[in-house]
């Protein structure tokens, strides 16, 4: 059974993230979507809120499960008995950072391989930061996050939907 870990902040989970989970599940037997618990970063949603949104989002994908981790990703990989990291590449601008992270992970844990997946082209511009900015301004979130995530964003930012 092959296990891959898809780490991230998922603050919030977008349809681009879900697209990558579905793609990874076509390749691997088990995909752990691992929410990073990094207290030095300022998140819009708590770890518990992010986990709940992800669990709701992936409940129809049998090979996907949601977990959380703190500390080094390679330590979490060892704990999960996984040697594959899933990362998404939206544009060439993502490559430099992702290459550095993949190289450091391999240095710390030589068995690890990073698999880069490209999302569907409709999600190549999409980031959690952009979603939060759009939500703050009250713009429609259709087609970029699931409806339940859109509701959470509206409640968090106290914004109605503008048309």
CB 87 within 8 A of CB 115: yes
pTM of the model: 0.94
Residues 23, 36, 50, 128: which is the catalytic one? 128
The predicted model gives 57-63 an average pLDDT of 96
Percent of the chain topping pLDDT 90: 87
The answer to whether 103 is a known catalytic residue is: no
Q: Where are the beta strands (DSSP E) in 9-159?
A: 30-36, 64-69, 84-88, 113-117
CA–CA separation, 150 vs 148, rounded Å? 5
Domain assignments of the chain as residue spans, ordered by start: 3-124
Pick the CATH number of 3-124 from 3.40.50.620, 2.60.120.10, 3.40.50.970, 3.40.1360.10: 3.40.50.620
Sign of CA dihedral 86, 62, 26, 84: positive
- Band of the pLDDT at 163, cuts 50, 70, 90? low
Question: What mean pLDDT is predicted for residues 27-55?
Answer: 94
Active-site pick, 30, 78, 90, 136? 90
Query: pLDDT at residue 162 above 70?
Result: no
pLDDT at 131: 96
Q: DSSP for 95-126, please give it.
A: HHHHHHHHHHHHHH-TT-EEEEEPPPGGGTT-
CA distances from 53 to 23, 25, 43, 77, 124 (A): 19, 19, 14, 23, 21
Asked if 128 is an active-site residue, the reply is yes
Cα–Cα distance for residue pair 160/163, rounded to 1 Å:
10
Mean pLDDT of 115-120: 95
Please write the tens of the pLDDT for every residue from 4-34.
Answer: 999 999 999 999 999 999 999 999 999 999 9
Question: How far apart are the C-alpha atoms of 107 and 123, rounded to whole Å?
Answer: 31
pLDDT band at 160 (very low <50, low <70, confident <90, very high): confident
Q: Let me know if 17 is a catalytic residue.
A: yes
Tens of pLDDT, residue by residue over 129-148, are: 999 999 999 999 999 999 99
> pLDDT class for 92, splitting at 50, 70, 90?
confident
One of 26, 39, 40, 41 is an active-site residue; which one? 41
Residue 127, Cβ neighbours under 10 Å: how many? Answer: 15
């Amino acid at each position: 059974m092959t296990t891959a870990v898809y780490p991230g902040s998922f603050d919030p989970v977008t349809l681009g993230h879900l697209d990558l989970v579905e793609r990874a599940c076509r390749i691997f037997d088990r995909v752990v979507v691992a929410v990073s618990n990094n207290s030095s970063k300022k998140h819009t949603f708590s770890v518990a809120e992010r986990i709940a949104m992800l669990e709701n989002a992936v409940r129809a994908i049998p090979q996907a499960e949601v977990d959380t981790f703190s500390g080094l990703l390679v330590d979490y990989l060892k704990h999960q008995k996984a040697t594959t990291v899933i990362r998404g590449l939206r544009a060439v601008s993502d490559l430099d950072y992702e290459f550095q992270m993949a190289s450091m992970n391999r240095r710390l844990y030589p068995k690890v391989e990073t698999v880069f997946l490209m999302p569907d082209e409709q999600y190549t511009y999409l980031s959690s930061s952009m979603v939060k900015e759009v939500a703050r301004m009250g713009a429609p979130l259709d087609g970029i996050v699931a409806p339940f995530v859109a509701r959470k964003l509206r409640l968090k930012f106290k914004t109605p939907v503008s048309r």
